[in-house]
């Protein structure tokens, strides 16, 4: 299976679906990450890019691509949709991870809109949306992945984003509280939860 993770900022993949991504790469699936902005509102762009590449490496992600949207002002326009659609054409993913529309951060909501517009030409692609600190209480997951056996690797990938931990933008405590909360839903120690824009029949995430 070919998997694409499309997120707004350099640390978003690790927070929203890092455990699931690690389980997929460990099982031999190919994962590519696209980061729409370099996150320079939250630190130096070169530092954040380096941290993103290190976090992705820990999770077994093949490649990280930055699309250079302005942090805080991700745009959803025909040019941006077409640019993302070109990656879909060349990479041909079976599954995309991205943000939920139920999120207080404008870049996260716009990333969701951008992804769902781009996949309109690819009806065979499943799209799952993960949960993070800015997700709103009406987040309504339909799929849970037990990440108990990879939670330490998820935390290690989070720690790669040292600049964001230092400024309090991401927190291991929050991630662990969330993973335990979702894990309780399925009788696991830790889990990640996902909404679905589109879920192809037969897609299995264990």
Q: Is the pLDDT of residue 47 over 80?
A: yes
Task: Output the pLDDT for position 203.
Answer: 72
Task: Output the pLDDT for position 77.
Answer: 94
| Domain boundaries of the chain, sorted by first residue | 2-198
CATH 3.40.80.10 fits 2-198, yes or no: no
pLDDT tens digits for range 150-191: 999 999 999 999 888 888 788 899 999 999 999 999 999 999
Q: Predicted confidence band at 204 (pLDDT cuts at 50, 70, 90)? A: low
Q: What is the pTM of this model?
A: 0.95
Q: Predicted confidence band at 49 (pLDDT cuts at 50, 70, 90)? A: very high
Task: Output the pLDDT for position 198.
Answer: 92
Its sign, for the CA torsion 7, 12, 14, 15, is negative
Q: Predicted confidence band at 21 (pLDDT cuts at 50, 70, 90)? A: very high
Average pLDDT over all residues of the chain = 94
pLDDT tens digits for range 52-78: 999 999 999 989 999 989 889 999 999
Cβ atoms of 87 and 4 closer than 8 Å: yes
Task: Give mean pLDDT, residues 2-16.
Answer: 96
Identify which has the larger pLDDT, 34 or 204: 34
Total residue count of the chain as it appears in this document: 206
Task: Output the pLDDT for position 138.
Answer: 97
Percent of the chain having pLDDT more than 70?
Answer: 98
Residue 206 CB neighbours (<10 A): 8
Q: What are phi and psi of 174, to 5 degrees?
A: -65, -45
Distance CA 190, CA 177 (A): 9
Q: Which residues pair with residue 96 across a beta bridge?
A: 4, 127
Q: Predicted confidence band at 202 (pLDDT cuts at 50, 70, 90)? A: low
The separation between the first and the last C-alpha atoms of the chain, rounded to the nearest angstrom, is 14
Cβ atoms of 120 and 198 closer than 8 Å: no
Distance CA 2, CA 101 (A): 24
């Amino acid at each position: 299976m070919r998997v694409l993770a499309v997120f707004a900022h350099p640390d978003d993949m690790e927070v929203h679906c890092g455990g699931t991504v690690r389980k997929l790469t460990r099982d031999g699936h190919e994962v590519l990450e696209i980061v729409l902005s370099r996150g320079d509102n939250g630190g130096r762009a070169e530092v954040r890019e380096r941290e993103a590449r290190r976090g992705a490496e820990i999770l077994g992600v093949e490649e990280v691509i930055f699309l250079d949207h302005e942090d805080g002002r991700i745009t959803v326009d025909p040019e941006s949709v077409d640019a993302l659609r070109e990656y879909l054409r060349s990479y041909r993913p079976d599954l995309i991870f991205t943000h939920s529309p139920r999120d207080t951060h404008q870049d996260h909501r716009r990333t969701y809109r951008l992804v769902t517009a781009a996949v309109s030409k690819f009806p065979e692609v499943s799209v799952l949306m993960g949960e993070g600190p800015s997700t709103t209480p009406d987040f309504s997951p339909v799929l849970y992945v037990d990440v108990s056996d990879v939670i330490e690797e998820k935390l290690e990938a989070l720690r790669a984003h040292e600049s964001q931990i230092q400024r309090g933008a991401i927190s291991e405590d929050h991630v662990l509280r969330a993973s335990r909360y979702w894990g309780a839903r399925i009788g696991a120690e830790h889990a990640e939860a996902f909404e679905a824009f589109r879920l192809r029949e037969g897609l299995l995430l264990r």
